Amino acid sequence: MKYYIIFGPPGAGKGTHSVLLVKKYSLLHISTGDILRREIKAESEIGLKVKSLIDNGKLVDDETVLSLIEREILIKGEDCKGVILDGYPRNVKQAQELENILAKRGSRVIAVISLVVDENTIVNRIRKRAQIEDRKDDHDTDTILYRIKTYHACTEPVIDFYKSRGCYYPVDGATSVEEGFESICRIIDKLKDEQQ
């Protein structure tokens, strides 16, 4: 099983590219955001806890997210050619825990595809997404800026973690979707050729 991570700040285009990658490569898309929104909609115990945190602009704790990710991999991961993780890991501790989970399955992360986008583009994209998808967590500018600040402080260190493992691949995320997707596909196709 091949595991890929699509990485980048909020609004970088992770979800958009994940949908395209699922179609092209028959991957299972595991989106932390989608899972959490599903739990909120179901009003599960986890969902109610998550809703309270998100409504206050806070992040969900590591243990909760890890358990949800592991559940998705166990339930859905057997019927696909690979998995693309979107929005996870969010910090170095999560990256280490993910490595442990995958090692138990005899696997590892093949590539971390990082969408590199400047802050102004991120804010504009998230505001536009808020209008299109009516996502409450995307409407408030202070919440957006807090999420970007948290990304820089907590999530960017994950880059060095994967660089040290030789599987980090930056991509210009400020280009058009088509150009960005072509760049991502070149990386994945090259890795597939090398592993054959």
Residue predicted with more confidence, 77 or 45: 45
**CATH architecture for segment(s) 2-195:** 3-Layer(aba) Sandwich (3.40)
Half-sphere exposure of 107 (CA within 13 A, CB side): 17
**pLDDT digit string, tens, across residues 62-101:** 888 888 888 888 877 667 788 999 989 989 999 999 999 8
**pLDDT digit string, tens, across residues 95-140:** 999 999 899 888 999 999 999 998 888 888 888 876 777 766 666 7
Count other C-beta atoms under 10 Å from residue 149's C-beta: 11
pLDDT for position 4: 96
Task: Give mean pLDDT, residues 161-187.
Answer: 95
pLDDT for position 137: 63
Domain ranges of the chain: 2-195
Q: Which of 10-14, 45-49, 108-112 has the highest mean pLDDT?
A: 108-112
What is the radius of gyration, based on Cα positions, of the chain?
16
Edge-first strand order for the sheet with 168-172 is 27-31, 82-86, 2-7, 109-116, 168-172
pLDDT for position 70: 86
Average pLDDT score over the chain = 88
